[in-house]
Each structure stands twice: as structure tokens, then as C-alpha cells.
Structure 1
Amino acid sequence: MSSSMASSLPPLPRRVGWVGTGVMGLSMATHLLSAGHSLTVFNRTASKAAPLLDKGAKLADSPRAVAEQSEVVFVIVGYPSDVRRVALDPDHGVLPGLRPGSILVDMSTSDPSLAEEIAIAAASVSCQAVDAPVSGGDRGAREGKLSIFAGGDRSTVELLSPLFEKLGVLNYMGGPGSGQRAKLGNQIAIASTMVGLVEGMVFAHRSGLDVTRWIKAIASGAAGSKSLELYGERILRRDMAAGFFVHHFVKDLGICLRECQAMGLALPGLALAQQLYLSLIAHGEGNLGTQALILAIERLNNTRLGDGGESSG
């Protein structure tokens, strides 16, 4: 679709739809609702949308019903299969319910090829699709400080920038699928960083250091990272609650590996991290947060960081 069609929308779409009110989606949708937008929501488990309904959002009974009441629909769900169903299902999906000139924004982490397919399908019904996955975890979602990687028509992304800016920092990455590719690169970097973080913690522990003190010492040096900031203290408290689920991260890393295979690209750090995270799922820990990687490294070494970060040996 041409940028002239995108510009036929009001300068700032007011009627917003949201599909997916999980750990990330609930906070993100709340920011838009608080900004004064009319919000229609759908979640497979309706009770998870209750906090939004209490603030004035309307509940729809399907993604299509959300689209029928919205100028722009945001989607953030778990797996590419969920994205496909929510966006493209001929009976209940978002695209069949959109009016011409409307926009679908997928903020899930998904396959770049699926983002391209959705963009083509949207254009066929005179709509636009943007792939805009995010990074920053539950904390970034709550604070409206996510990094947003946007792919699609530039003018459409610019049109939506006032909405994106309620959620975090917008980064335009290129045409359809570019947002997803940027997010996959982000996940590759995080995966190896997390391995380094938990290995360093286990080393400090077995060396007899106070791990709390060690984390504070490295935070201001070259080893400082967003992963350390977000997860170091959580790990020390044995807080494995999910800001981002292990099983979703394994999904993301699997997409990364498939993309690498298609490109003939060897990334051994990525492959190792994916195997370590898979081991968590094998131990029934897929619903923990990604900081639970410490459990895999502890098992390999028959050790355990003491509660509160104090060394026990």
C-alpha cells in the first residue's frame, strides 16, 4: 500500500485494539489506555484483561471483533502459530475485520517470513502491517522504556510513532520483516550475555567471593550490561518469576537458528545457549524467567548460590 493511503488516517489514531494481555501486553496496553485512547481488547483467557477493563477498556470476543472497532490493532502473543491465527484466520482473525486504511502492528517475536506474508495479506485488503517486536522485559514494559524494532512502510511507522513512544524508544529498521530480524539479533546477543553472566556468578561463588559484592563491583565496569541490571539481583534472591518465559526464549532462539541455517551462518554461542535453555524445559522449568539459566549452570557444577547471594562454600 502506498504512503498516501496511510496518511488518510487521522494524524493520531484514537481507536486502538489490543490482542494479547500477558506479562508484556498488559502493561503496554495500559500505557495506551492511560494516554486517552479508546481501547478494545481480546485475550484468550479473558480474566487476564480484567485490569484493563477496570480502567475503561472494552472486551471483544475475538481478534476480528477487536479489528472491527479499531483503526490500529496491536498484537503481542506467544508463538508464530499464534500470530498466524490471530492475524490471518479467515473467520476470527484481525485482517478480515479491518477497514481499508487500517493498520495491524505485530509486537510478538516471530518469523521474518511470516511478517512479510502478513504485510502482503494486509496490502491485499488495502491495509498496512508493521512488525514491531520489543526488548526490555517486564520492567521495560511497566516503565514504558522498551526498545521497539519496527519493520514496514516508513510513513506508516512514523504515523504510529506517538503511540509507540508511549511504550518505549522507536527504532525504524527497514521494510517488512526487518523488525523481526533486528529482534532476533537482539535475542542472540542476550543469549550469550546471559550465559556469561551466570557463569561469572557461579565462578565468583565457587571462588569464595561474596556474589552480591562481586555484582556491584562489575556493574560499573566493562562487564556491566542490561542483563546484569535486570537479573543479577533477581538471581541472588532466587527470584525466578518470569519477566520473559524460558519457553518463549527457546522459541526465539529456535527461530534464530533456523534463520542462521538458511543463511549458512555458524553461531556457536547461540547454539550453546539454546541447548542450555532447552535443558530447563526438560526439567519442567519452561514457565520460569530467563534468569533461571543459573539453575542449568548450577546443575552442571553440582553447586548452588546461597540465598541472598552469600557464598556457602
Structure 2
Amino acid sequence: MSESTRVAIIGTGHMGGAMVVRLRAAGYPVTIWNRTRERADDIAARTGATVAGTPREAAGTSDVVLVALANDAADLGAHEGRDGIVAGLRRGTAVVDTSTIDPRTTLRLAEMVRGAGGVHVDCPVSGSVSSVEAGTLAVLAGGEAVDIDQVRPVLDHLGKVFHIGPTGTGATMKVAINTLLIAINQGLSEAYVLAEAAGIDPATAYDVFLAGATGAPYLKYKRNVFEHPENAEVAFSLDLVHKDAGLVLALAERTGVPVPQAQANKAALAAALDDGYADRDISAIATHLRELRTRSSRG
């Protein structure tokens, strides 16, 4: 597999769009499809990618199909039907699903792809848009080693590839990662607003958070948006964070693991969505806490 390998990207949201830019810069011919055609057209104009009219068309002209969609329903919808990915597959075409979805849905999609003669790699990614741009994602691959090796040259442009295990383990690992990510963001938001409300200079507080045992990479790359929320671009919208929190609780129920912190975090996310924060970045939890404090002081 080389830069002459034809790649399709299904879904050109924040992450999928960044993948288009990254792979076009590496020289790959890329065909894209997005439910909202205007977004695909905009990315194509900037990158030289080709826009397909349907997922079937995109898959039918490609060797590797990267899927980057928001949820289980969107992923299933893009695969199924006469205009879906599966209908367009040629024997040996690899479908690499980077979406964050329920592991049970991953198994269902893999069966559909393989039943049509394709290769399936369960492959969520961990990181932000900036991680895609820098090629530093954690790529969580589930499936047969030979299938992962088939698409590894493409995935190597996106980040470090981890073979987690058989199909479904990539999706499961992503749910586990997001359990921790959501907790870190909630904890940082509470600590930051608490220090600020108690009279500590926010910049000093953040310096200390970074200097000690709490100085995780997440704190480093989120500092600017915590200190300047008015300039925050949406890297991970709260509606998607809330969806992922639901995946966490569903997995915990199936495995019998008590997750009281994850339950509290999902409730905090639900409250933010109720207050109109769905389209805001995950860091806006801090802004929501300030809003709740103001309401409390008025009451």
C-alpha cells in the first residue's frame, strides 16, 4: 500500500475533516462523503479531495474506507441500504471504522462488511483535531493482525497504532479511555472554577495543576481554552461527550462494574445540555459551573 492507495472518508466533521487534510497532505487521493454536502464541498475545495454523492460511490472507488461518524445510528445508516458502504464494496476493500460507537454495533458492522467480501478494522482514535493535524493520535485497532497490517500505512499518518485485540476491543478501549477523559475534564473544570471563586489567580492555579501530579497532557493542550473560553473552538462537542458517557454506563452495566463517578459526570453533562451547551466544547463545563454558581448566589 502506497500513496497511490485510494482512500474514502465517510463523515467530514471535526475529526473526519482533519483526516482529509492530513491524508491529502501525505499525497493520498481521497474521496469524501458527508451527509451535509456543503461541508464536504468546502473541504474538497481546500484540499483537492473528490466529493461522492453517496457512501456507496465513495467506497466503490477506494481501497481503504475510513469512517468517522457521530454515533451508532449514523454509522449504521452509512453502511446499510443500496446507497451504503457495504453495497459499494469490492472484494478486499478495507473498512476502517474510527467512530466512537457501542462495541456491539462494531461487531454488527464487521459482520456486514465481511459478508460482502470486505475487510473490517475496528479502529477508534483518541485525541483531538490538533492530534490529527500533528499525526499523534492513539489509533486503537481491533481485528486480525493481517487486516490491520493491510491498512497500517494509512493509519501511520494519523498516529501511533495499538493492536488492542479482536474485533470489538478497539471500540471497548475507546469507551474506557473516554471514561477517564470525561472524568479529567470534569475534575479540571471543578478545580479551576473552585480556585478562581476562592480568589486564586486562575493562571497561577493552572500553573500549579500542570506542575504537580495532575499535569496530564490533557491539561496542557486545553489550557488556552480554559483560560480564554470565549475563543474556544469545538474539538469535542458536549452533545457527543454526553453520548459517549452513555456508552460508558452501558458497558459498565453489561460488565457489572460500579461507576459512581461516571454516573455523576453524565448527570453534569445532561445538566449542561439542558442549559443549551450541546454545541459547545467539552471545556465549557467550566463555564457552566460558573453559571450555576451565579444562579445559586441569586437564589
Normalising by structure 2, what TM-score?
Answer: 0.93
CA drift at 1:299: 3.3
Q: Are residue 230 (structure 1) and residue 221 (structure 2) matched?
A: yes
Structure 2: which amino acid aligns with 1:179? Answer: G
Task: Say whether the 8 Å CA contact 2:89–2:117 is kept in structure 1.
Answer: no
Task: Say whether the 8 Å CA contact 1:130–1:176 is kept in structure 2.
Answer: yes
Out of 278, 281, 286, the position equivalent to 1:294 is: 286
Out of 180, 189, 201, the position equivalent to 1:198 is: 189
After TM superposition, the structure 1 = structure 2 runs for residues 34-113 of structure 1, keeping only pairs within 5 Å, are 34-49=25-40, 50-87=42-79, 89-113=80-104
CA drift at 1:297: 2.2
Out of 231, 245, 248, the position equivalent to 2:240 is: 248
State percent identity of aligned pairs. Answer: 26
- In the other structure, the counterpart of 1:273 is 265
- In the other structure, the counterpart of 2:162 is 171
- In the other structure, the counterpart of 1:132 is 123
Structure 2: which amino acid aligns with 1:289? Answer: D
Q: What is the CA–CA distance in structure 2 between the aligned matches of 1:252 and 1:51, rounded to whole Å?
A: 26
Q: Structure 1, residues 95-124: CA drift from partner, whole Å, max 9, x if none?
A: 110101111111110010111111112221
Deviates more, 1:155-164 or 1:78-87: 155-164
Structure 2: which amino acid aligns with 1:292? Answer: A
Q: What is the CA–CA distance in structure 2 between the aligned matches of 1:138 and 1:124, rounded to whole Å?
A: 33
Task: Say whether the 8 Å CA contact 1:19–1:43 is kept in structure 2.
Answer: yes
Task: Say whether the 8 Å CA contact 1:63–1:93 is kept in structure 2.
Answer: yes
Q: What is the CA–CA distance in structure 1 between the aligned matches of 2:58 and 2:158, rounded to whole Å?
A: 20
In structure 2, do the counterparts of structure 1 residues 52 and 144 end up closer, same or farther at CA, with 3 Å as the change threshold? farther
Q: What is the CA–CA distance in structure 2 between the aligned matches of 1:159 and 1:104, rounded to whole Å?
A: 11
- In the other structure, the counterpart of 1:15 is 6
CA drift at 1:303: 8.1
Task: Say whether the 8 Å CA contact 2:96–2:123 is kept in structure 1.
Answer: yes
Q: Structure 1, residues 223-247: CA drift from partner, whole Å, max 9, x if none?
A: 1112211223212212343111100
Task: Say whether the 8 Å CA contact 2:124–2:141 is kept in structure 1.
Answer: yes
Task: Say whether the 8 Å CA contact 2:145–2:163 is kept in structure 1.
Answer: yes
Q: Are residue 214 (structure 1) and residue 205 (structure 2) matched?
A: yes
Out of 279, 285, 306, the position equivalent to 2:277 is: 285
Q: What is the CA–CA distance in structure 2 between the aligned matches of 1:79 and 1:73, rounded to whole Å?
A: 17
Deviates more, 1:159-168 or 1:180-189: 159-168
Task: Say whether the 8 Å CA contact 1:13–1:72 is kept in structure 2.
Answer: no
Structure 2: which amino acid aligns with 1:268? Answer: P
CA drift at 1:11: 6.8
Q: Secondary structure at the match of 1:219?
A: helix
Q: What is the CA–CA distance in structure 2 between the aligned matches of 1:205 and 1:226, rounded to whole Å?
A: 22
Q: What is the CA–CA distance in structure 1 between the aligned matches of 2:213 and 2:4, rounded to whole Å?
A: 43
Q: What is the CA–CA distance in structure 2 between the aligned matches of 1:249 and 1:58, rounded to whole Å?
A: 30
Q: What is the CA–CA distance in structure 2 between the aligned matches of 1:221 and 1:158, rounded to whole Å?
A: 39
Q: What is the CA–CA distance in structure 1 between the aligned matches of 2:33 and 2:265, rounded to whole Å?
A: 34
Q: Secondary structure at the match of 2:229?
A: coil
CA drift at 1:90: 2.0
Runs of 4+ in 1 over 6 A off after TM superposition: none
CA RMSD of aligned residues (A): 1.7
Aligned residues: 294
Q: Structure 1, residues 9-28: CA drift from partner, whole Å, max 9, x if none?
A: x5777011111111111111
Deviates more, 1:255-264 or 1:224-233: 224-233
Q: Structure 1, residues 129-181: CA drift from partner, whole Å, max 9, x if none?
A: 11111111122122221111111111111221111111111111111111100
Normalising by structure 1, what TM-score?
Answer: 0.89
Q: What is the CA–CA distance in structure 1 between the aligned matches of 2:278 and 2:202, rounded to whole Å?
A: 26
- In the other structure, the counterpart of 2:254 is 262
Task: Say whether the 8 Å CA contact 1:133–1:150 is kept in structure 2.
Answer: yes
Give ranges in structure 2 of 5+ residues lacking alignment: none
Deviates more, 1:226-235 or 1:178-187: 226-235
Q: Secondary structure at the match of 1:169?
A: strand
Greater relative CO, 1 or 2 (CA 8 Å, sep 6+)? 1
